[in-house]
Amino acid sequence: MTPDNLYDQWMAEIRQQTAGAQAPEAIQEIRNRWLGRRGTISQAMKELSKLSLEDRRVQGQRLNALRQEALDMIGNRQQALELAQETQQLQQEKIDMTLPGSWPQAGLLHPTTRVRRLIEDVFLRMGFSLEYGPEIEEEWYNFEALNIPANHPARDMQDSFFTNFPNRVLRTHTSPVQIRAMQKAQGALPVKVIAPGRVFRRDDDATHVPMFFQVEGLVIDRGITLADLKGTLTAMALELLGANIATRFRPSYFPFTEPSVEMDVTCAACQGAGCRVCKGTGWVEILGSGMVHPEVLRNGGYNPDEITGFAFGLGIERMAMRLFGIDDLRLLYQNDMQFLSQFQSYIGRASL
Amino acid sequence: MKASYNWIARYVPGLPEPSQVAEKLTQMGWEVASAEPWGRWYEPVELVEVTHRVKHPDADHLSIVTVARGDRSRVDVVTGASNGMPGDHVWYAPVGTELVDGRVLEAVSMRGVLSPGMLLSASELGYVQGPQDLWIWQGPEAVGTRFLDAIGGWDTVFELELTPNLAVFGQSMQALARELAAGFSLPRPEWDPPFAYGQDALALREDAQDCPLYGLVSYQIRPQDVTPLWMQTLLRAIGQRIIFPAVDLTNFLLWDMGQPLHAFDGDKVQGLIQVRRARPGEELLTLDGQQRTLTVEDLVIADDQGPLALAGVMGGVRSAISAETGHVMLESAHFQPSLIFQTMRRHQIYSDAALHFGKGTDPLAVFLAPARYRALLGEAGLYESIQASQLLGHMEAARQIPFEPGKIRKLLGVEWDDKKIQAGLERLGFGITASGDVLIPHDRHDVSGSHDLAEEVARLYGIDTIAPTVFSAPAVPGRREEGEAYRELIKDTVAEAGYWEVVTRSFTSPERVARAEVNPGGEAVVVKNPLRDEERTLRQSLLPGLLEVVETNRSRRSLPLRLFELAPVYRADGDTPLEANELAVVETLEDFPGYPHPDTPHVLDLKGVLEQVNVRCGMGLTWRQTDHAPEYLHPGRTLEIRSPGGEVCGYLGEVRPRIAQRYHAKRLGVWVMRVGAAPAVREAPRMERPVRFPEVVRDLSVVVPAQVAYQSLVQAVKALPLPGLRSVAPIDRYSGEFGQSWTLRFVFQPDDATLTDAEVDGAMQQILDVMAPLGVSIRQ
């Protein structure tokens, strides 16, 4: 038998043996048999030294190729068997992955906080700063300074909570912060602030709660106009509610602004077609605003002959109800976790 | 306020259809809450002629009446009415008609005779037509005429929500007519000439400020029981009741002109009418049947015997007119609005008169109303003569303010020229004098300066026609105030740690606070007019409110709760109320089943939150275990928290289980503290390089006497000069006969080399040695 025939026969045997091995241990045994110190191939390599130089070179090459082929074949088979063995073991650890995941314990901010911040962010980006005032407010700031004298019928509009401190009221709106912001600015221009905060009114029904949140806004400078008010508030509405809504401005009345206007936006329920929610008009009111009344400017230390400004106030709840699709104001403050935990998405709308 | 389209249309020829009117009203600031058709239910009712009438065979009080309809068909209808004889024209409602009271007519059998429909009385149609059963129609209308056509067709009724500035002048159909004429550029309605008051001595007035104008006219009338049909229709459309003519007329003029008129029975007035303040303790029985005690704050109309009426608010019973009254003393006055407003509120009489006078009326109407009343009396067939009349006071000249179109343009941001602005004002009834001033109409008490005129032209031309602009200002970045940014950071960090923010009301009560056994000390701010007793103070702590949130949630479902709130609490400090921000975190410490099994929440988890939030928010807090915890807290499981300044600012621990159970929780962990004004710790920018050498870990189980705190072990160990001790942590706890044992894990990792076993052994021996004096020994 020529060496070539012999090598082919060996290779055929190795192939047959490795294919027949069913466990990594059997493979090891085959490896030893062929490639171990006394293995058939190892022995043949030792025998090479007995050959002539030319034969040694030729046979040596063949034998090395044979050895490499055997190593790969045995190695591959071993890897395959080990993987199969590991897989079989891991199958024992199978978990039913259709079981529900355990959610990480991450809390969330209240919807009104989230919407308040959303509104704040819009104005911060427009260069407004944030201002604050006390919740137990002096009546002067809450009423007189805002052009609501003691006997003015406007006081009929907002029934207030009074405290055991003389002349102190739970502020009925964030508007007193207008005066405080102007006083703080001490005549500097421009004044460009928003004032978010808690306010109180003696109302408790499906559409009113005695404690709620507003965001007040105030811009004071030379040459501020009603057109600027419209531009600014429209920009805010589009930013908050999406570019596909429309706005409408209607005359209204607030003692501390003149002219006073209310802003309506397209009804979310019917997209403006007219429905029960918007009483068929296609519009829902979202805020009150106006040009700062001369008397209010004076009370803030500004000369209304030279300076003009606009102010607005919007209810955070109303915006939250729209953004989250809530139809009952009272639910917001019952703090029922089943209710609160449904608003997982930060805003409640994917498009924002 | 309700407004009738048909009523307004009487004064504005060419008035566009109702939907355009609603839109225009909205544009001009009159918020239209609804626009509903009125009178539609009359549509099937038609005029028929009685052709035949026989007695019902089986009922004495019923008759079978045959009527001829407009289409010449004949119908037999059963009626109980005593009138309706052949030849009479009466109103017939076929089957299916909806009656005024909401009933829908069906064909009914009356004592065996089928009656398809019904012949109607006036009251069944909602009208007052004197004492007759069926409404015998005297008009010229042909048989077959629809009732709806006989009363002028159906109406549209607008429900308007009037802002106070519009209520000053706008609570009448004529005011709306003027507004709409201006809005649609139609001719401005003109009124009848004013009444010329006589010089008769009828009344005395105490103070001209209380009552700038007081007119009194004495009419002799012929009592009659029927108010003109058209007037009944209009009054009913806006929801007014029909009473009797002399009253209906004043009511009509109230809503027509916005001028409340009061009719006294002239024969019941003793001596001169006096307009004066009430004397202390004077009494008046008002028309609503209430006996009222008056004060000098009240303005009254009196005679020699005392008060007859609460001026501008409500009349008294003593001088009330009746359907038989023949002598009417008609008062047409102008009162000081705030005086009337306050009397209205003080006595809680929200009459239509008070709601007009209290907000503002047109002094000119004092002159116009008696003439209109006279004309209407004539039309209704009631008028006989005017006996006497007198006016106290005189009409003030119209107020004037400078016409400054430039200011108006600057305020609105428009480029309307002077002519356009002037034309707009004139359409709204303002005049421009030769000297360039604006003459303000007498009823526009709301207008005092250019800013008001700006609003007038803006609402006339439409705010929507003003192009929005964006103002420019120096580019200064907007800023959150530092304290607020700090509180926002804390909220975010606590929420990230797994807590849900809730918002509770600022109100509470001493009972609610006592239930939580929280004793905040100090004085609460009291709400003088709370909505309910349990909301009569302002909270001094968030905790009772948060415990109540646990309670409401737990009463609905059994779930683990992790809640927090960061909000103001309030306290009285002498003469000033104080507000401070508090953070309250509440967590149920209970095992809940689940797969894979979740860790049971532990009060140390809550402490971990404190530790993490303290670092992340730079709060600079310190804490130690205390035996002097507030009573609502577990005496053995409480930390006292101190502010960076060293004062106690809050606590963290377990609520006494007895109290927790009150709120439906077995165990509750709480963390309540005052939040400082700003972060106290500002870390300098710095970093530590990661150590390249592997750490060496050694666990040590030691028996620790019960009175030795873990912290003292750690302090003792950390005081040692050990090379590279990076951390000590408890990893297990046992208790047995030997007492309690802790397994502590020590991690060594110097930053320059890995320790040898011998070095670590030495360190461990030093650790054991230093703990030995505390009574700590290695567990065998």
Chain B residues near residue A109 by CB distance under 8 angstroms: 491-492, 495, 501
Distance between B276 CA and the closest CA of chain A, angstroms: 21
Average pLDDT over residues A27-56: 89
Give yes or no for residue B637 having a pLDDT over 90. yes
CB contact under 8 A, B525 and A338: no
Q: Name A217's bridge partners.
A: A194, A312
Across the interface, of A131, A162, A225, the residue whose CB is closest to B410 is A225
Give yes or no for residue B517 having a pLDDT over 80. yes
Chain B residues near residue A279 by CB distance under 8 angstroms: 33-34
- pLDDT for A213-265, tens place per residue? 999 999 999 999 999 999 999 999 999 998 889 999 999 999 999 999 999 99
More confident residue, B502 or A51: B502
Q: Which pLDDT score, from 0 to 100, does residue B478 have?
A: 86
From first CA to last CA, the distance across chain B in angstroms is 91
CB contact under 8 A, B570 and A198: no
Instruction: Using pLDDT thresholds of 50, 70 and 90, give the confidence band for residue A351.
Output: very low
CB contact under 8 A, B556 and A132: no
CB contact under 8 A, B26 and A250: yes
Q: Which pLDDT score, from 0 to 100, does residue B265 have?
A: 95
Q: In terms of CA atoms, which chain B residue is nearest residue A220?
A: B473
Across the interface, of A123, A161, A251, the residue whose CB is closest to B459 is A251
CB contact under 8 A, B531 and A250: no
Q: In terms of CA atoms, which chain A residue is nearest residue B598?
A: A102
CB contact under 8 A, B451 and A258: yes
Q: Which pLDDT score, from 0 to 100, does residue A232 have?
A: 96
Distance between A216 CA and the closest CA of chain B, angstroms: 15
Q: Which of A130, A219, A250, A298 to mutate against chain B (most B CBs within 10 Å)?
A: A250
CB contact under 8 A, B463 and A250: yes
Q: A217-221, A338-342, B105-109 — which one is most confidently predicted on average?
A: A217-221
Q: Which pLDDT score, from 0 to 100, does residue A153 have?
A: 56
Across the interface, of B26, B479, B500, the residue whose CB is closest to A337 is B500
DSSP H or E run through A7 = helix A3-20
- pLDDT for B562-618, tens place per residue? 999 999 999 999 889 999 999 999 999 999 999 998 889 999 999 999 999 999 999
Q: Which pLDDT score, from 0 to 100, does residue A347 have?
A: 60
Average pLDDT over residues B275-291: 95
Note the pTM of the prediction, 2 decimals: 0.86
Distance CA A234, CA A243 (A): 10
Across the interface, of B413, B459, B598, the residue whose CB is closest to A228 is B413
Q: B39-43, B361-365, B682-686 — which one is most confidently predicted on average?
A: B361-365
Give the closest residue to B748 by CA, choosing from B773, B769, B766, B770.
B766
Q: Which pLDDT score, from 0 to 100, does residue A352 have?
A: 40
Average pLDDT of every residue of chain B: 93
Written as six digits, the tokens of B33 are 């809450």
- pLDDT for B164-216, tens place per residue? 889 999 999 999 999 999 999 999 888 778 999 999 999 999 999 999 999 99
Give yes or no for residue A350 having a pLDDT over 70. no
B559 in A contact zone (CB under 8 Å): yes
Chain B residues near residue A294 by CB distance under 8 angstroms: 449, 451
Q: Which of B425, B452, B471, B573 to mutate against chain A (most A CBs within 10 Å)?
A: B471
Chain B residues near residue A120 by CB distance under 8 angstroms: 480
Q: Which pLDDT score, from 0 to 100, does residue B107 have?
A: 87
Q: Which pLDDT score, from 0 to 100, does residue A1 have?
A: 59
CB contact under 8 A, A190 and B28: no
- pLDDT for B380-434, tens place per residue? 899 999 999 999 999 999 999 999 999 999 999 999 999 999 999 999 999 999 9
3-state secondary structure B577-639: EEEEEEEEEEEECCCCCCCCCCCCCCHHHHHHHHHHHHHHCCCCCEEEECCCCCCCEEEEEEE
User: Who contacts B285 (Cβ-Cβ below 8 Å, separation ≥6)?
Assistant: B291, B292, B316, B317, B318
What does residue B438 show for φ and ψ, rounded to 5 degrees?
Answer: -95, 125
Distance between B552 CA and the closest CA of chain A, angstroms: 7
Chain B residues near residue A332 by CB distance under 8 angstroms: 503
Across the interface, of B469, B479, B501, the residue whose CB is closest to A225 is B469
Q: Which residues of B344-376 are buried (b: 16+ CB within 10 A; e: fewer)?
A: bbebebebebbbbbbbbbbbbbbbbbbbbbbeb
Chain A residues near residue B479 by CB distance under 8 angstroms: 124, 129-130
DSSP H or E run through B252 = helix B245-257
Written as six digits, the tokens of A38 are 């006394």
Chain B residues near residue A129 by CB distance under 8 angstroms: 478-481
Q: Which pLDDT score, from 0 to 100, does residue B148 have?
A: 93
Written as six digits, the tokens of B444 are 């526009």
Q: Which of residues 279-298 of B touch A (CB under 8 A)?
A: none
Across the interface, of B492, B501, B526, the residue whose CB is closest to A163 is B526
Give yes or no for residue A129 having a pLDDT over 70. yes
B502 in A contact zone (CB under 8 Å): yes
What does residue B673 show for φ and ψ, rounded to 5 degrees?
Answer: -160, 155
Instruction: Using pLDDT thresholds of 50, 70 and 90, give the confidence band for residue A132.
Output: very high
CB contact under 8 A, A333 and B505: yes
Q: Which of residues 459-498 of B touch A (CB under 8 A)?
A: 459, 463-464, 466-471, 473-481, 484, 488, 491-492, 494-498
Instruction: Using pLDDT thresholds of 50, 70 and 90, give the confidence band for residue A157.
Output: low
B259 and B332 Cβ atoms separated by less than 8 Å: yes
CB contact under 8 A, A335 and B563: yes
User: Who contacts B140 (Cβ-Cβ below 8 Å, separation ≥6)?
Assistant: none
CB contact under 8 A, B455 and A258: yes
Average pLDDT over residues B453-472: 94
Q: Which pLDDT score, from 0 to 100, does residue A152 have?
A: 67
CB contact under 8 A, B491 and A202: no
B365 and B332 Cβ atoms separated by less than 8 Å: yes
B28 in A contact zone (CB under 8 Å): yes
- Asked if omega into B468 is within 30° of 0 (cis), the reply is no
Q: Which pLDDT score, from 0 to 100, does residue A265 have?
A: 93
Give yes or no for residue A155 having a pLDDT over 70. no
Q: Taken in order B713, B718, B722, B726, is the CA torsion positive or negative? A: positive
- Cα-Cα-Cα-Cα torsion A115, A118, A123, A124, nearest 10 degrees, comes to 130
Chain A residues near residue B497 by CB distance under 8 angstroms: 107
Q: Which pLDDT score, from 0 to 100, does residue A349 have?
A: 44
Distance between B466 CA and the closest CA of chain A, angstroms: 6
Q: Which pLDDT score, from 0 to 100, does residue A151 have?
A: 67
B166 in A contact zone (CB under 8 Å): yes
Distance CA A224, CA B469 (A): 10
Give yes or no for residue A156 having a pLDDT over 60. no
Give yes or no for residue A348 having a pLDDT over 80. no
CB contact under 8 A, A259 and B468: no
Q: Which of residues 728-747 of B touch A (CB under 8 A)?
A: none
- pLDDT for B16-26, tens place per residue? 999 999 999 99
Across the interface, of A127, A164, A231, the residue whose CB is closest to B468 is A231
DSSP per-residue codes, A289-309 = EEEEPHHHHHHTT--TTT-EE
B207 in A contact zone (CB under 8 Å): no
Average pLDDT over residues A57-71: 90
Distance CA A285, CA A247 (A): 9
- pLDDT for B704-716, tens place per residue? 999 999 999 999 9
Across the interface, of A132, A163, A221, the residue whose CB is closest to B484 is A132
Q: Note the ipTM here.
A: 0.88
Chain B residues near residue A157 by CB distance under 8 angstroms: 164
